[in-house]
Chains A and B, each alone.
Chain A
Amino acid sequence: MPGSYLILLSRQGKVRLAKWFTTLSPKEKAKIIKDVSQLVLARRTRMCNFLEYKDSKIVYRRYASLFFIAGCASTDNELITLEIVHRYVEQMDKYYGNVCELDIIFNFQKAYFILDELLLAGEMQESSKKNVLRVISAQDSIEDTEVSGAWLFRFYGVELCCYTFTAPGRYPYPLIH
């Protein structure tokens, strides 16, 4: 059951994260992102979380301002793919604490690292939140010994405030809770 991609798309249609599990040319990737954005953004609430797209299937779910879109084979189990997405969101929530879109924007590399701990080659590798967190924490502690004060910047702290002041009216909403 190979997933073929995972895309995090804002409601404005901006890509926040894209991970490809199959080899595609930049052109094919751009085409998929364009098509998939169109399809998903046009969906209304209370519709089902699955869509057919060419020979594949799209499993998507909206979390606050972000759409999480997983592409998979048409034979795949849709609901379990949906829960992979949810586990990813939960995992980020556990790490960042009340994760919101801004966390993913400002710490995009961490979002990728967490994803690498959950999915590899498009397959779920670990569903224990604790185990994933343990590995990510181990990474962080290495970084802390290497770069003094890294922990200060890991969470954007000051910058977030400056962001909210300069863009009034657009507050970071937590993805879950």
Chain B
Amino acid sequence: MRGLVQFIADLRNARARELEEKRINKELANIRQKFKDGNLSGYHKKKYVCKLLYIYILGWNVDFGHLEAVNLISANKYSEKQIGYLAMTLFLHEQHELLHLVVNSIRKDLMDHNELFNCLALHAIANVGGREMGEALSGEVHRLLISPTSKAFVKKKAALTLLRLYRKHPDIVQPQWAERIISLMDDADMGVALSVTSLVMALAQDQPEQYKGSYVKAAARMKRILVDGEYAADYLYYKVPCPWIQVKLLRLLQYYPPSEDTHVRDLIRESLQKILNLALEMPKNVQQNNAQNAVLFEAINLIIHLDTEQALMKQISTRLGKFIQSRETNVRYLGLEAMTHLAARAETLDPIKQHQAIIIGSLKDRDISVRRKGLDLLYSMCDQTNAQPIVGELLQYLQNADFAIREEMVLKIAILTEKYATDIQWYVDISLRLIAMAGDHVSDEVWQRVIQIVTNNEELQVYAAQNILQYVKADHCHETLVKIGGYILGEFGHLIADDKGGSPIEQFLALYGKLQGCSSGTRAIILSCFIKFVNLFPEIKPRIMYVFETYSYTLDSELQQRACEYLALARLPTDDLLRTVCDEMPPFPERQSALLSRLHQKHANTSDKRTWVVGGKDANANERDFTLSKNPGLKRAFSSANGRMPQSNGAANGTNGMNGYSGVTNDLAGLNMNDAGPSEPKTLKVPNLASAAHLSPDWEIGYNKLLLKGEGVLYEDGQIQIGVRSEYRSQMACVILYFSNKAPTAVTSFTTTLDLEPAEKENLSWEVKGLPESTIHEGAQSQQMIMFEAKKVFDKSPTIRISYLAGALQALTLKLPVVIHKFMDPAELTADDFFKRWKQIGGAPREAQRIFGVKGGKDGGREFNDSFIRETVEGFRWGVLDGVDPNKKNFVGASVLHTGDGGKFGCLLRLEPNYGTQKVRLTIRATDESVSPILIKLMEERLAIGVSTAPETTEAPTFRDISDAFGNVLVP
């Protein structure tokens, strides 16, 4: 496009802005004319749109040609389409009316066979997609994300496009997509994994429960990258393996509470240690250094978040100490930031306090970014012991601080002073000095808070009155101090009236001297103070009346009204009303400090969830939503605490100077900031696919077999075979699951999730000792070992969700044959012992009895027979006691059940079959009433299946069958 190049060159040669404008106007006129004439070839349209784009980028307003630009999108030529899409993303925004016109063109490109066209369409949605586009196109975008035929470079764009749509309109991502999206985190292509991880991060923040599978995935991928070195060479960024995905994974792990699973914790610990080890080396190359540190600082954040890794924690506190002294400004900045995070979480501030001098020094750094971080850290690390020196330093620094951060500093100093004051004088001194020094940067909340504190704490009042009087007497006194003076002296001036230099007339003159130089609001406060003086100090009434009279002619209507009302009040024949009006102010109602809400307003509402906030441990106490900390109320425990303040009769009304104070709710309104934000967590109830409610068809075939056996095949279909081997020792069980891939290709993103009804979790606990490989190649096998412990008698068996990608997502939910009877050991008893114990246990409630037949009755083709019953009873781990029951057909058994917390239980069984009627009577007695009903239910269910009456048609399995079925299961 020679014309475009020429045009750009012309503009660059235009030395003055007027010349540039002239050239642009000429060109705009030209283009307008060309568009009007119509009949342009695609090439020319493209050229003119490009010129418009260039003009737009330079910052000029381009108010035509949008339609022509958008029309290019439906061009057949890729190069024209591409410019059309670029123009659309630059000229239009998500609510632009022209977007309606392009939805169909975009859809067409999404469905095109050429992937480059798909990409253009995805870019468009990711740039300007809003609600409407999301509703119309999200299905297609999702299809491109999960389709097995999508190329990697389309998939990753689809993932991020979906992320954009989700941010705009969360409902677009449907709950049932979760499992499939999580599985893509295992994608072999690092670009896809990176993009999908970004998507999952956003989703997991809002719906942690639904996306909790991502936690293990993130931990495992982290380890595969760092420890196993599993990445393509192209993803090494200056010797650091894909730092972007590392940072994302480490961040994702911070969105969840630390895992309880030791195996997952080991994975994470191993990766973190590796990161710390790698970072010991200080590379010279800037990029390598940055990438390595990016990962390192994210790892530090995770370690602080986990809060359980003492060894790692120790390593990082020493390193942070070095970072904050680094010569590199970036590292100093990040070191201070990480330390602030540490202060927000750590049990003790001691490791940070060691560096107090350096941190204070950072307030003098030449870079304002570093100074700000230093301020944050000092604020966070402050406690009772170091408040006085830190506040002192902050005050000193305040004098030279940049204007940009003064207001924040004042707030922080005020908060710290209030929070950690143990000494009356200190609180009053610092507060007043703070206001004197930084008057212009003191927001209203600060001085009003001082008044609230003084009013509500009697022991402060005299000292505060004395001090403020000194300030007001001085020649130069900031107006904010005059406001405080007006209020404090009006309320508590009488307490110091007998002091030297504090006589009523001196108080009056001090305030009167400031009256002229003050703004209207302050004058109003002073006038209100004077009417209180009329009440308290009748001796100076004439002088005050003179002031009121003067002000009753002032032009300011608010002041004039006050003066007139006060004048009238003071002239009343009796002073009853005056006394009532000017009664002592009642204490302020307890409320959260407006200071904190003011400070936090500044930090509210970023699009990503904060996992912590600046401000030490108690600011982070409420982890759930990081609302403001439980702040001490207005009443503070000072060292010289006196008795409670007498409650006055509460006659205060609007005539005093504190008009703005009715708004407690207003003060608190700012606290609700955490509800703001683009995506609120959804309350939608999501099905737990791993639970027993979602068992896959045919789950029971293997399960029923394995009820009676320790090992065998749990499940098998065309793609996968799942074998189980288990060993039980008293209350402990070791279960190994073997997953064999029977499909002709590798399966990827192999994931297992164990689940158990929440109520049962305290009865049966488990620990995962290893996870299956994420990729299982054709014909290969992977295994998972789980240790179970029966703490008490449990009723429900755990379930396992197995999902993997073999083209599409395949998922199974199976019940594991971990059942209470597996924890029994057969016992041998003599007939005498048996009957003695049988009687000892006695009938209900420790006895359970059922009479039942085969499920489906006699015609179901199944029956009871002696060998079936014997097999089942033995399979249920009873010691069958032959010759104990006088009737030879009956079965009698005994066993001992082991549980961890519940101890051992003795169990006895008697089973009386009647083969004629095909019924059995089953009686179980156990030493605890909780055991027998559960055992009898299990046995009834299993026995009722019966055995097939048809003659054995299948031949005994050949050796080959056996080795096929069990070969790789039984020989690991």
**A residues apposed to B, CB below 8 Å:** 1-2, 14-18, 23-25, 30, 33, 46-52, 55-56, 73-80, 82-84, 86-87, 105-106, 108-109, 112-113, 116, 120-121, 123-131, 135, 138-139, 142-143, 146-147, 150, 153, 156, 159, 162-163, 166-167
B609-639 contacts to A (CB < 8 Å): 609-611
Given A139-B82, A147-B43: A124 and B244 interface contact (C-beta under 8 Å): yes
Is B161 on the interface with A (CB-CB < 8 A)? yes
The CB with the most chain A CB atoms within 10 A, among B13, B116, B232, B290, is that of B290
B78 touches A146 (CB 8 A): yes
Contacting residues, chain A, for B198 (C-beta < 8 A): 1, 121, 123-124
The CB with the most chain B CB atoms within 10 A, among A48, A83, A120, A156, is that of A120
Contacting residues, chain B, for A50 (C-beta < 8 A): 330, 333, 369
B607 touches A77 (CB 8 A): no
Given A77-B247, A146-B78, A153-B2: A83 and B287 interface contact (C-beta under 8 Å): yes
A120 to B247, CA, bound (A): 17
Nearest CB in chain A: distance from B233 CB, A: 9
Contacting residues, chain A, for B1 (C-beta < 8 A): 153
B286-308 contacts to A (CB < 8 Å): 287, 290-291, 293-295, 297-298
A111 to B372, CA, bound (A): 35
Q: List 12 A-B contacts (CB under 8 A).
A: A2-B167, A77-B297, A78-B333, A80-B294, A83-B287, A86-B287, A113-B82, A123-B160, A123-B163, A125-B194, A131-B191, A142-B79
A127 touches B606 (CB 8 A): no
For B157, the closest partner residue in chain A by CB is: A120
A162 to B5, CA, bound (A): 11
B160 touches A127 (CB 8 A): no
B333 touches A48 (CB 8 A): yes
For A142, the closest partner residue in chain B by CB is: B78
Contacting residues, chain A, for B297 (C-beta < 8 A): 77, 79
- CB-contact partner of A47 in B53, B59, B369, under 8 A: B369
A87 to B116, CA, bound (A): 22
Is B54 on the interface with A (CB-CB < 8 A)? yes
Contacting residues, chain B, for A153 (C-beta < 8 A): 1-2, 5
Contacting residues, chain B, for A51 (C-beta < 8 A): 368-369
Contacting residues, chain A, for B248 (C-beta < 8 A): 1
A106 touches B8 (CB 8 A): yes
Nearest CB in chain B: distance from A49 CB, A: 6
Is B608 on the interface with A (CB-CB < 8 A)? yes
Contacting residues, chain B, for A16 (C-beta < 8 A): 57
Is B83 on the interface with A (CB-CB < 8 A)? yes
Contacting residues, chain B, for A167 (C-beta < 8 A): 12-13
Which of B234-242, B762-770, B837-845 is found at the contact surface with chain A?
B234-242
B244 touches A106 (CB 8 A): no
Given A1-B608, A77-B297: A128 and B116 interface contact (C-beta under 8 Å): no
A75 touches B608 (CB 8 A): yes
A145 to B626, CA, bound (A): 58
Contacting residues, chain A, for B334 (C-beta < 8 A): 78-79
A55 touches B606 (CB 8 A): yes
Contacting residues, chain A, for B247 (C-beta < 8 A): 77, 80
B606 touches A73 (CB 8 A): yes
Is B578 on the interface with A (CB-CB < 8 A)? no
Nearest CB in chain B: distance from A108 CB, A: 6
Contacting residues, chain A, for B13 (C-beta < 8 A): 163, 166-167
Nearest CB in chain A: distance from B245 CB, A: 8
Contacting residues, chain B, for A1 (C-beta < 8 A): 198, 201, 248, 251, 608
Nearest CB in chain B: distance from A16 CB, A: 7
A55 touches B607 (CB 8 A): no
A126 touches B290 (CB 8 A): no
Contacting residues, chain A, for B50 (C-beta < 8 A): 109
Contacting residues, chain B, for A14 (C-beta < 8 A): 58
Is B261 on the interface with A (CB-CB < 8 A)? no
Given A55-B605, A113-B82, A128-B234: A108 and B161 interface contact (C-beta under 8 Å): no
A2 to B126, CA, bound (A): 13
A163 to B12, CA, bound (A): 8
Contacting residues, chain B, for A84 (C-beta < 8 A): 244
Contacting residues, chain B, for A83 (C-beta < 8 A): 237, 243-244, 287, 290-291, 294
B86 touches A109 (CB 8 A): yes
B116 touches A120 (CB 8 A): no
Contacting residues, chain B, for A77 (C-beta < 8 A): 247, 251, 294, 297-298
A56 to B332, CA, bound (A): 19
